[in-house]
Structure 1
Amino acid sequence: MDMAKQTAAGALKPHSSHWGAFRAGWQGDTLVVEPHPADPDPSPILGNFAAALRHKARIARPMVRRGWLERGPGPDSARGRDEFVPVSWQKALDLLAGELARVRDAHGPRAIFGGSYGWSSAGRFHHAQSQVHRFLNVALGGYVRSVNSYSAGASAVIIPHILGNYEEMTKHNVTWEQIVEHTGLCLSFGGMAVKNSAVASGGVSRHIERGSMKAAAERGCRFVLIGPLRDDLPEEARAEWLTITPGTDTAMMLGMAHTLVAEGLHDRAFLASRCTGWEKFEPYLTGQADGQPKDAAWAAAICGIPAETIAQLARDAAATRTLISMAHSLQRAEHGEQPVWMAIVLAAMLGQLGLPGGGYNYALGAIAHYGRRFNAVPVASLPQGRNGVPDFIPVARISDLLLNPGQPFDYNGQKLTYPDIRLVYWAGGNPFHHHQDLARLRRAFAQVDTLVVHETSWTATAKHADIVLPCTMTLEREDIGGQTTDPLLIAMHRLAEPYAEARDDYSIFADLAERLGKREEFTEGRDARGWLRHLYERTRAALAERGDPAPSFEEFWALGELALPQNPDDGGPLRAFHNDPEGEPLSTPSGKVEIFSETIAGFGYDDCPGHPAWLAPQEAPAAERPLWLVANQPWTRLHSQLDFGGTSADSKRRGREVMRIHPRDAEARGIAEGDIVRLFNARGACLASAALSEVVSPGVVQLATGAWYDPADPAEDNPLCVHGNPNVLTRDAGTSRLAQGCTGQLTTLEVEKFTGNLPPIRAWDPPAEG
């Protein structure tokens, strides 16, 4: 009996996604999706599922690129331009196992890059990143890995130097409960957009951010948004909006810090007892070191906010319980480490680090994990085994890796070397969404012998692959959804039959492991349901040890969800440090807040000195590219996932992504509402539909990421993207030699009305077969 007939009576089964728990079932041939009934602010992204399940973009069967099939492995500029040949599963797996063995035996596992990104599924077992890494470790002895994330590439490296453990300082610090009760002033640099907090790796059962800001504002908390986009805080926050020149937040913070010192408002006792390096930073701030005081007037000339506004905001921050929040977006730019560091220093100067609802919380609102209590019991995940290859790259350096084998690079005080990669295995993720300068990425992927991709749909990454293996969507398999800060564990029931010949990643890897003589080691004798029982047992045993209800796996599966106990809201290590700096030191080298870092200073990086500083960007508006582009996260999908789904597709106009532009800038260029426009700079160009909006600052245009890359002529080296992918425009360079993080949030460009014949949209079409 098929799934549609099983649920025809209207019964809804539980499932979960990164953008929320939900229930779904079939009414005739229609998939009905309803948010979890306890969710006060469900995400509209749930609307992408129904149309996506059987969309033409789905991959129906294993495919091999014709050039690879005929000529064998090797560098090939035809990737992304070639047709594909359908093959049987047996042939595809035989070919792939043979190629994996060839690369392993000829070059070693150091020649294999395990590319993946962790957003493919909310399930803890069918998590493509864990699956591919486990397979490469068990079956091949390891792989070259990536570290950090595109979202937090700079902050994840610098925060441990300055404040302590990154996870603790983001997840286990200030909560929304504290903000509702205690915060008097929230300075939100870059905002806390609810489109971002709609998402949480592993799922979320209740979206509380909008309601929390509403409750705090009604109590009297004052929210101030510092950023170029007014809707980066919801209306419920009743926020004041200060429009800032993109990328200049560090200068503004320095101007505030100077005011605190000049007016004697900084907490000298806190700086003396809980910080190190103030005596080295203060001369820079006051200008004693370089002759330039970093006062409010100096900052105003850089950031575009009046000097008196900057100074008054500093006074206001010193007069109440103040929380400084900083979005991921600020550090996804040149010198992205600096605003992270300076925001910590500003909070330290106020003496409020660790206080309830005060101090500093990096990326609060950037993801739904943050600002919540931790569960008192673990949520298990698939063990990945031991990686025998020590080599790694910062995740945003994939093009550098493939284009520069054997070349040195700097990272966090280390001098490393890019390995010579012959095979890239990508399962989960779409680098033609996440990565910058897509023309350069195409050249990079042309260098390898073989690119293997597991995918549900024909993304641009799949179209550039040599071997493409069709995978199930989350709705087509069973799993367990959960996260360390969400109090519901979800039994993710299967809601649809697999599309065409699609298979679960696990079954694909199990059969590949068998061909390589490692099936038993990979599966440990378990099928998928056996693994779910095994992973659930860790949570069940912990519940039983606490004396809490601990249902069996079968009982949990029948219930559909399980409430998990949570720990008290204790403020984590930063609260403990505030209360007892000697007995509860931070995990920094000094055990204190590092205003000046001897470690970082010792690295000798001119693009990341030993204390926070204003470093002017290399890329700034110029005559030929006078506008800033903010390439931020979309409202209508998670990254590029299900771009062809209902909510995402309905948000486009004339089939293209929507770019927002201030009416003044549009008028100067003869652009009207709804016009198709061309965005361009020296790196590339794309088309989008123009929306005139005063939500966007003058001098700024905003185009969300995630529209699938759609080259007008794939045969060209740097073709026009007709669909609206901003990463044809963004710069592929690291934040600094310290972190080598992604700088894709900001770039500069020009916009003009497009007057030629409109090219067709083919982003979601399967490639040619032959």
Structure 2
Amino acid sequence: ITGNVGIKGGWAAGYGGCANRKFAAGPEMPDNPVKAKISVMNWVQAADDASKVTPDMGLKDADKLDSNIRILFSLAGNYLANQNPDLHQAVRVLEDESKIQFIVASDLFMTPSAKYADLLLPETSFMERWNIGETWGTASYLILSEKLIEPEFERRSDYDWLREVAAKLGIENEFSQGRDEKAWIEHIWEQTRLAMPDENLPDFATLQKTRQHLFKSAPFIAFEDNIRDPENHPFPTPSGKIEIFSKRLYDMQHPEIPALSHYVPAHEGPEDALAKDFPLQLITWKGKNRANSTQYANPWLIEVQQQTLWINPQDAQKRGITHGDMVRIHNSRGICEIPAEVTPRIIPGVSCY
């Protein structure tokens, strides 16, 4: 309606930068005889009762799963007991050894997920291995991440110990193709140079000196070709056009995905009947002392910003809360204790931490 689609600065699906560049990938993965794929959000249900994971829930390339998930590998992640749709179900499944029979976790820190591991492996940090780091979001440069120090104690990179496991299984050559971690980084970089001849990427030896590369090609503009030449570049919709009304969504008859955009009240929002029992809406934001749960327990960064519950003075007065009080917040899912920060910077009826 505003004409922002397909133009520079229009910001219609324009989130890009390095993410939209085609880097060579590796190592090559062999064909997987199991074609079924599930959303990462569905691993708990697939471990609890796989029969309930259906195409309607995001199952792809299969009508059903043949078995429940029994073994989990969690490498450089804290997803098992952290960002789950139903954390209570996740904890119940993780603690039931008749469901998840073996968990391997590799990490730098004793995260909530790592505490459930049967085999806990100490991983290396970015300072102890080679990599190429792309920028987050819309920037168009990359940085060579060099190995600065050797890992101490028993810490090893995931590639290092997985290569040794492959050797035990008699498939080390197929897995590593004779390359260590740095050799893979160099190989992937050189393959990327061949795949992007117009970019004039430096060779790996030069990259080790410059340590970064700024892309000079034209910026990515989402849907530019679709707007410029709609006949030869139709939109990926049934009509090939931008659809204000979607017949495909209409046929789905899903009340939360309307065919014509309109306001849909949020579950457990201010219009929900639950508001009678839970009158405060809780929102969250990004703290300046951590990224999601990363560095959450770092004492230096806790000094930078303490986790508090923001509450409006009107709501605080009704509850007899003063600034700095330790308060208990709860809903049907759980309870936590947190210091209160009484401030007019949050509106009445809303709290935040």
| SS of corresponding position for 2:188 | helix
Match of 2:74 among 426, 443, 452: 426
What residue in structure 1 maps to residue 215 of structure 2?
564
What residue in structure 2 maps to residue 439 of structure 1?
88
Matched, 1:417 2:70: no
Give the CA deviation at 1:456.
Answer: 1.2
Q: 1:594 to 1:679 in 2, by over 3 A?
A: same
CA deviation vs aligned residue, 1:108-148 (integer Å, no higher than 9, x gap): xxxxxxxxxxxxxxxxxxxxxxxxxxxxxxxxxxxxxxxxx
Matched, 1:593 2:237: no
What residue in structure 2 maps to residue 262 of structure 1?
none
1:373/1:567 contact within 8 Å kept: no
2:53/2:59 contact within 8 Å kept: no
CA deviation vs aligned residue, 1:237-279 (integer Å, no higher than 9, x gap): xxxxxxxxxxxxxxxxxxxxxxxxxxxxxxxxxxxxxxxxxxx
Q: 1:625 to 1:601 in 2, by over 3 A?
A: same
Q: 1:429 to 1:437 in 2, by over 3 A?
A: same
1:661/1:692 contact within 8 Å kept: yes
Alignment of 1:742-757 (within 5 A): none
The runs of 5 or more residues in structure 1 that have no matched partner are 1-347, 365-369, 704-770
What residue in structure 2 maps to residue 512 of structure 1?
165
Give the CA deviation at 1:507.
Answer: 0.6
Amino acid aligned to 1:424: L
Amino acid aligned to 2:51: G
Match of 1:580 among 229, 252, 257: 229
2:245/2:259 contact within 8 Å kept: yes
Instruction: Name the CA distance, whole Å, in 2 between partners of 1:413 and 1:529.
Output: 36
CA deviation vs aligned residue, 1:324-352 (integer Å, no higher than 9, x gap): xxxxxxxxxxxxxxxxxxxxxxxx3x454
Give the CA deviation at 1:390.
Answer: 2.0
Alignment of 1:45-444 (within 5 A): 348=1, 350-358=2-10, 361-362=12-13, 370=15, 372=17, 378-383=22-27, 385=29, 386-409=31-54, 410-411=56-57, 416-418=63-65, 419-431=67-79, 432-444=81-93
Matched, 1:470 2:114: no
Match of 2:340 among 690, 703, 720: 690
Match of 2:156 among 503, 515, 528: 503
Instruction: Name the CA distance, whole Å, in 1 between partners of 2:326 and 2:142.
Output: 45
| SS of corresponding position for 2:124 | coil
Q: 1:572 to 1:607 in 2, by over 3 A?
A: closer
Amino acid aligned to 2:107: E
| SS of corresponding position for 1:490 | strand
Instruction: Name the CA distance, whole Å, in 1 between partners of 2:263 and 2:59.
Output: 21
Q: 1:700 to 1:495 in 2, by over 3 A?
A: farther
Amino acid aligned to 2:317: E
Alignment of 1:496-645 (within 5 A): 496-542=149-195, 545-546=197-198, 548=200, 550-568=201-219, 571-573=221-223, 575-619=224-268, 620=272, 621-645=274-298
Amino acid aligned to 1:353: V
2:132/2:145 contact within 8 Å kept: yes
Amino acid aligned to 2:26: L
| SS of corresponding position for 2:51 | coil
2:134/2:141 contact within 8 Å kept: yes
Instruction: Name the CA distance, whole Å, in 2 between partners of 1:416 and 1:604.
Output: 22
1:423/1:448 contact within 8 Å kept: yes
Amino acid aligned to 2:207: F
Give the CA deviation at 1:542.
Answer: 4.8
The runs of 5 or more residues in structure 2 that have no matched partner are none
Match of 1:452 among 86, 104, 111: 104
Amino acid aligned to 2:64: T
1:662/1:697 contact within 8 Å kept: yes
Amino acid aligned to 2:209: A
| SS of corresponding position for 1:468 | strand
What residue in structure 1 maps to residue 133 of structure 2?
481
Instruction: Name the CA distance, whole Å, in 2 between partners of 1:547 and 1:371.
Output: 17
Amino acid aligned to 1:425: F
Give the CA deviation at 1:413.
Answer: 9.9
2:246/2:260 contact within 8 Å kept: yes
Instruction: Name the CA distance, whole Å, in 1 between partners of 2:93 and 2:248.
Output: 34
Higher helix share: 1
So what's the TM-score if we normalise by structure 2? 0.84
2:114/2:120 contact within 8 Å kept: yes
Give the CA deviation at 1:420.
Answer: 1.0
CA deviation vs aligned residue, 1:204-249 (integer Å, no higher than 9, x gap): xxxxxxxxxxxxxxxxxxxxxxxxxxxxxxxxxxxxxxxxxxxxxx
Give the CA deviation at 1:408.
Answer: 4.5
Give the CA deviation at 1:611.
Answer: 3.3
Amino acid aligned to 1:387: N
Name the count of aligned residue pairs.
Answer: 340
Instruction: Name the CA distance, whole Å, in 2 between partners of 1:511 and 1:641.
Output: 29
So what's the TM-score if we normalise by structure 1? 0.41
